[in-house]
Amino acid sequence: MKLANVTWLQDVKVQAQALASNQVEADAVIVIGTKAEFELASGFPGAEACAEAVRRGLFEAGCCKTYVVPTGQEQAPVLIAIGRKEEALTVKQVRLMLAEAAREAVKLRLGRISVIVPQELVQAAGEDAKAMAHAMVEGFMLGAYQRVTYKKDAKPAHEFASFTLCAEGLAEAAWTEGAERGTAYAYGTTFARDLTNLPGNVLYPSTLAEAALELAKEHGFEAHVLDEKQIEEKGMGGLLGVGKGSVNPPRMIVLKYQGKDEWTDVYGLVGKGITFDTGGISLKRAGNMDEMICDMGGAAAVLGAMAAIGRIRPQANVLCVVASAENMPAGNALKPGDVLTSYSGRTIEVLNTDAEGRLVLADGMTYAKELGASKLIDVATLTGAVGVALGSITTGVVTNNDEFFGQFKAAAARTNELVWELPSNQEYWDMLKSDVADVRNAIPGGAGTITAGLFVGTFADDLPWVHLDIAGTAFLGSGRGVDPKGATGVMVRTITETVLAK
């Protein structure tokens, strides 16, 4: 399966060079500066033209605002100037600035890009230098994302040949290491975006499994896939029940990365892989149902994290489990009132077939535990309620372990992906009780995001567990920050950061 943006990102040459700005050779140079700095600019291609634009009021140099001007110099024909505040640059600002510059570069279809690193950042050393390099590369690659269209005369996704960070006196080793890390994070996020944006007639459980196996082959992961017969033989009643109404049967997908000598202290990443969700017998309304191609955004997130981990090769053990099905209405489909037996042996009363994600995750969580997971992170576009509570800006979190969530929250602060912990008091757990089964899959009366998360957490048992509800953040109606319209690949970077911070 060809993923267009992933293809060019795999091939782009990323590097850091100790090079004076007047020695740069590229299709475009990117320069960051304040209004005052641009007004007095000199020494880089296009400096005079940029300074004149500021003096004439054509470029106000507001924070993250861009101005594109021909330089008249063959060595670097285009300047992309980015405004900044007078205060010290932050990682978050740099990431956003480079995303905006990337969008301009895509419009102009420029192939070789060089960023002239601001002098104040050239002085950064060690981890600070790595963090800035990481943010610059990551921001540019995320901003350069182009959603594939299927129009007759559609242009192919624009490909970049090279991306260079340069400045006189730059510490090449630290900046190169940071750039490589930023590329890996962007690659994983892009993998998730490309996968999530695929239409439902292209991506279904078996083709999602094929994409995962291709990823495993590329990075040398151990991998296996259970088909519908094996799923039934194992007694994975949640996954089987959701998938049985579709002509595209379910799959349980497993990838394993072992970065330590012993298979211990294993991160278990569990993703909801509903490749299309009609709601089943509890049919959704027609409006915006097309966006349900993103209902496998959790699966995309954990696979994207594996893609990043595969490039970085950390000393960590990571298990990825994706429970994938297509939720469709049919004569043999799951019905409200049915009782399923999950892989854990717990029985589930089905009150709403549109609460299907938690059913497949239940079996995914149990299978991850069986395969050796020591701590669990599950990711799912699980509830519309999370969007009501937090909009499309923040990912909702439910957890059973404050220490584990503390590590995750710290990682999210570094990646600038917003998360918010919701309460998990005993009273919410009690709402899951059923009269006829061990648990029920839908609870009337509110707290939908909390109780849905706690349903999944039931199958974590005593393992440390963090649940991420990305229903509001996985797919946007319009672009924002580093994220484009459509799939965002949210939580790939934070999951990866959590694993690497160990």
pLDDT along the chain (502 residues), means of 10: 87 94 94 95 93 95 95 95 94 97 97 95 90 98 95 90 95 95 98 98 98 98 98 98 98 98 98 98 96 98 98 98 98 98 98 98 98 98 97 98 98 98 97 98 94 98 98 97 97 98 78
Q: Is 378 annotated as a binding residue?
A: no
Structure tokens at 292: 């349900």
Q: Are strands 78-83 and 66-70 parallel, antiparallel or unpaired?
A: antiparallel
pLDDT of residue 225: 98
> CA–CA separation, 45 vs 76, rounded Å?
6
Amino acid in the structure at residue 153? D
What is the C-alpha to C-alpha distance for residues 298 and 196, in angstroms, rounded to an integer?
Answer: 9
Which residue pairs from 480-486 have beta carbons closer than 8 angstroms and sit at least 24 positions apart in sequence? 480/392, 481/96, 481/99, 482/95, 482/96, 482/99, 482/138, 482/139, 482/142, 482/143, 483/142, 484/145, 484/146, 484/147, 484/193, 485/147, 486/147, 486/193, 486/196, 486/197
Residues ≥6 apart with Cβ < 8 Å to 261: none
Is 272 annotated in a binding site? The answer is yes
Q: pLDDT at position 277, please?
A: 98
Helical pair 205-219 and 172-196, crossing angle rounded to 10 deg = 160
* % helix, strand, coil for the chain, step of 5: 40, 20, 40
Residue 156 confidence (pLDDT) = 85
Q: What is the pLDDT of residue 155?
A: 85
pLDDT score at 163: 97
Token digits for 347?
Answer: 């029985």
Q: How far apart are CA 183 and CA 191, in angstroms?
A: 12
User: Which DSSP helix (H) or strand (E) runs through 376?
Assistant: strand 375-380
465 vs 451: CA distance, rounded Å:
15
Contacts of 2 (CB under 8 A, 6+ apart): none
Cβ partners under 8 Å of residue 35, min gap 6: 54, 60, 61, 83
Distance CA 164, CA 182 (A): 13
Give the model's pLDDT for residue 140. Answer: 98
Say if residues 297 and 473 touch (Cβ distance below 8 Å): no
Q: Which residues are catalytic?
A: 284, 358
Strand order in the sheet with 266-277: 222-226, 251-258, 317-327, 266-277, 375-380, 465-469, 395-399, 419-421
Contacts of 274 (CB under 8 A, 6+ apart): 242, 292, 295, 296, 324, 325, 326, 327, 356, 357, 360, 381
Q: Are 320 and 302 in contact (CB under 8 A)?
A: yes
Q: Are 360 and 323 in contact (CB under 8 A)?
A: yes
* Total number of residues shown for the chain: 502
Q: Which two tokens stand for residue 113?
A: 């890009």
pLDDT on residue 502:
64
Answer yes or no: is 354 a known binding residue. yes
What are 218's two structure tokens? 């590329």
CA 196, distance to chain mean position in Å, is 10
DSSP 8-state class, residue 224: E
pLDDT of residue 286: 96
Give the DSSP per-residue string, 432-448.
T--SSSSEES--SSS-H
Give the whole-angstrom CA distance, residue 81 versus residue 83: 7
Q: Please give the C-alpha separations between residue 335 and each of 237, 273, 338, 347, 465, in angstroms, as whole numbers.
A: 14, 20, 6, 15, 30
Burial of 349 (0-12, 13-18, 19+ CB in 10 A): buried
> Among 436, 465, 96, 492, which residue's Cα sits nearest to residue 304?
492
Report the amino acid identity of residue 106. Answer: V
Nearest residue to 257 (alpha-carbon basis) of 297, 311, 178: 311
Q: Which one-letter amino acid corresponds to residue 451?
A: T
